[in-house]
Every structure is written in C-alpha cells, then in structure tokens.
Structure 1
Amino acid sequence: MSPNAEPRLGPTVPAAVRRWKLWLLTVCAIYPTIVLLGLATNPVLENLDLPVRLAVLVPVAAAAMVWQINPRLQRHFGAWLTR
C-alpha cells in the first residue's frame, strides 16, 4: 500500500451476480415452496376462493424466500452465481 493510499474500511463489494442464474435459482426454489405450502395449508384453506388462498400463501412464500431460502441458496451457490 502506498503511503498516500487510504486503507479500505468496510465490507468489500461482492462480485456481480449473473441475473439469469439468480432467476433460475429462485424459480427452482419458489416452485417447491409454493407447492409444499399449498399442500400444508389446503385442509385449512380449501373452502376459500383461489385469490384469498393466494393472498395467504404468497406473503408466507415470499418471507420464506427472502429470509430463509434465498440466503442459504446464495451461500451454497455463490461461486456459481458470479461465474
């Protein structure tokens, strides 16, 4: 490091993620998530109209994807996502 260079403070910038790979990973994760949530909640929600069932399922699936599934998949497939 040169004497006039400022030291790097803070996190490093991650490599750019290939958007098509992130899309593919998300599709592969969201489909089983929605199917399993649909099967698990069907006994309780079966008498509701489809739009109402989806109004319950979509926020739960989105929360699972944002806070649980995607972070784990991105850690596991991180190198592949940036290649």
Structure 2
Amino acid sequence: MTATTATPRAPSRLRFAIFVFCAVYPFITLLAYLIGPMTAGWPLWQRNLLLVPIMVFSMVWVIIPRIQRHCRRWL
C-alpha cells in the first residue's frame, strides 16, 4: 500500500486581495475622517506622511495576520 499525501492548495490571491480590501477600506476611511479635521490646512503629502505609517503598521501587524488566521479556510 502506498500512502499518498495530498498537497495543500495554494491560497487564492484574488480572495486574499478581496479580504484585505474589505478590511483596509473602512479602516483607512475612518482614519481619514479622524485625522482630517486635525490636518485640514496641511498639504496632501503631509497628511499622507501621517496616515501611511499608521496604515502600514496596522496592515502588517494587525489586519493581514488576522485575515490569515481567521479566514484561512476561505483563502
């Protein structure tokens, strides 16, 4: 008898991208509303300089790990 091991299928990049979009869009919109009044007179590049590090940190250490852990079976 030969034991065959099924190789796990690779996660779908499209589904992963959809999950990331569904998590990131509301979060970045909320951040823009919260930071907007405090940075109303700032040029766009300065507002983004404040917003982007918050978003990147959140994606790398919070959003993406949670998607990978909680949505693994759908990926």
Q: Between Structure 1 and Structure 2, whose CA radius of gyration is higher? A: 1
Please report the TM-score for the alignment, with normalisation by the length of structure 2: 0.78
Alignment size in residue pairs:
68
User: Larger RCO: Structure 1 or Structure 2 (Cα < 8 Å, ≥ 6 residues apart)?
Assistant: 2
The alignment's TM-score, normalised by the length of structure 1, stands at 0.72
Structure 2 residue aligned with 1:70:
64
Provide the C-alpha distance between the structure 2 equivalents of 1:31 and 1:66, rounded to a whole number of angstroms. Answer: 15
Tell whether the 8 Å contact from 2:20 to 2:64 is kept in structure 1 after alignment: yes
Could you tell me which runs of 5 or more consecutive residues in structure 1 were left unpaired when the two chains were aligned. 1-13
CA contact (8 A) 2:20 2:63 kept: no
Equivalent in the alignment of 2:29: 35
Residue 16 (str. 1) matches residue 15 (str. 2): no
Question: Of the candidates 36, 41, 48, which is equivalent to residue 54 of structure 1?
Answer: 48
Query: Aligned partner of 1:21: which letter?
Result: R
Q: Distance in 1 between matches of 2:48 and 2:9?
A: 35
Unaligned regions of 5+ residues in structure 2, if any?
A: 1-7
| Separation of aligned partners in 1, 2:27 and 2:59 | 8
Identity of aligned residues (%): 40
